[in-house]
Chains A and B, each alone.
Chain A
Amino acid sequence: MPGATLSPWTISYFATALVCLVAGLALTISGFGYPSAPIDDPASLVIVHLIAIGWLGLLFAGSLLQFVPVIASRQLQSPHLALPALLLTMIGLLLLLGGFLGLADLVPLWTWTLPAGGLLLTVAFAGLCWMVAGTLVAARPYSLPTKFVALGCVPLIATALVGLVFTLSLSGLTDDPHLVGLVLSAGPAHAYLGLFGWMTITAIGVSYRLLTMFLLSPEKTRGISRAIGWLLAAALVAAGCGIFSDGTGLPADRPLHLAIALSGLASLFYAIDIHSIFRERKRKSVELNVMASLVAIGMLLLCFVLFAASIVIGNPAGMVMPIAHLFTFGWLTGLGLGQLYKIVAFMTWLEFYGPVLGRTAVPRVQDLVNERRASLWFALYFTATATATAVLILDMPDMFRAATFAQLAAVCALSFEFIQARRLAMVPAATRLPSAVAARRLILPSFNGRSR
């Protein structure tokens, strides 16, 4: 039977991811790392990897475990790898962060921590790709979301491998000039492959299925959707060429700039495509998760507008960090929080009310959340993110920390909303289950077989 069930560890992935996001924002507010230190300072790298791997990586991995079976209409391949992949990511990340703290002279530096962390993370992401790609490859004929998510697996592995090579040089295990040269020049390409190559391409693919599903819009492959796929594939090739030239000792900015230009064009086409999906929707009321996604897409476009503007005014280097901040927190995190708001409620409904559907009165998914209250937190989050980007451009670090504090407040408030949804706290009394039922399974799956 074509169908999908609940991914038991996805909520645990989300909970760990949110802890990393809160920790990263709190460290920034405390003055640790960027902007108090350069972005390539080890202290800054702690926050960068806490956000990129701990928050975004686990968020995307947990989401894929739940939604790849939906996209493929078949069960996840090797689902027993979900927990080991989560544990390996957590341990690998802790080792990596420990290594960076050692490089920053904040803790004793053990040579093996960075490569060991990199290796564990590479194994964890390889396991994720095995589950994702293995599920998708058998799902013929390949749908549009399938192609995008499968394409995203390539840069994910490339990002992990390049990062692993970095750790060999950073830890002093090798002084090979090519590998040292790679560390010195391929950092931006490493970030591009992770944040755009894997996460953005995956987000685009999954959004084609989720947005059409939530908006009751016809799912069809438009010519512009195919063009986006080809542009993104070309951008990945360009970024790969850039890393290759960095590794051969002939660093060049042009391939990465070409990749970013192609990505910008693809993002513009994507926004046009999403506009078509939105216009053709049969569901007239627009829920908060969709609104948050649309704002996030707007911020994605703004990133490329700022990038183009920085070239026109001749200051691309000065604009890199504000644009990276907007991309990470406006686009990826904004989209992620918006979808979490929906996914947590949806999965909670399936877990607790799915088994009793048809036997007793049940609430709607929307009854598990308080949209009016959550909309305030989303407004605060996006306003704070736009402000943080603006004050970074204006070089006002104190204001940046204040804006980050507002981001943290919004994230904590939204986390509280997610917990309330998990506890079924907002469900109308007539359909509420005993509170002990929900409280037992806040972030861990059921071990009695009810949660599938």
Chain B
Amino acid sequence: MPDTSERANLIEQVRQQLSMVIDPEMGRSVVDMGLIYRIEADRVGDMHISMTTTTKGCPASTFLKEAIRACAASVAGVKSVEVELTYDPPWNPSMMTP
């Protein structure tokens, strides 16, 4: 059962793993694009990821959501992954890392 520091470590590992998922249009990772709003882990390794897409209704949204779920699930210590697609707040270009 991971303690707080182990959970923070697990979240960081998931964040790093998500860097291999790219936005197909920009070619940058979903993390650098600012599309990952929140990553949370509970005591047993269940992950909750809150994400968005650059445009509401983006045709890639289903693929991005599934890719993020699969990518996070591949990290050792992650028991299950729930991905929530949200547009609150809507994404804007200032959310990208420079």
Contact = CB atoms under 8 A, between A and B. Distances in A.
B75 interface: no
Interface in A1-58: 1-6
A365 B56 contact: no
B67 A357 contact: yes
Which interface class (under 10, 10 to 19, 20 to 34, 35 or more) fits A? 35 or more
B44 interface: no
A358 B92 contact: no
A6 B59 contact: yes
Interface stretch (A101-109, A213-221, A325-333, A387-395): A213-221
B75 to A, nearest CB: 12
A362 B68 CA distance: 14
Contacts of A1: 61-62, 65, 85
Interface stretch (A65-73, A150-158, A271-279): A65-73
A14 to B, nearest CB: 16
Interface string A351-368: 001110111011011100
Given A3-B61, A3-B62, A364 B27 contact: yes
Chain A CB within 10 Å, residue with most, of B59, B60, B61, B69:
B59
Given A2-B57, A3-B58, A216-B54, A357 B85 contact: no
A191 to B, nearest CB: 33
Nearest to A282: B93
B8 interface: no
A362 B22 contact: yes
B4 interface: no
A166 interface: no
B25 A2 contact: no
A75 B9 CA distance: 39
A349 B24 contact: yes
Contact of A365 (B25, B55, B67, B68): B25
A401 interface: no
B57 A357 contact: no
A283 B69 CA distance: 28
B57 A364 contact: no
| 7 A-B pairs closest in CB distance | A358-B67, A354-B63, A282-B93, A73-B57, A364-B27, A357-B67, A3-B61
7 contacts: A70-B55, A74-B57, A218-B92, A350-B59, A350-B63, A357-B66, A361-B20
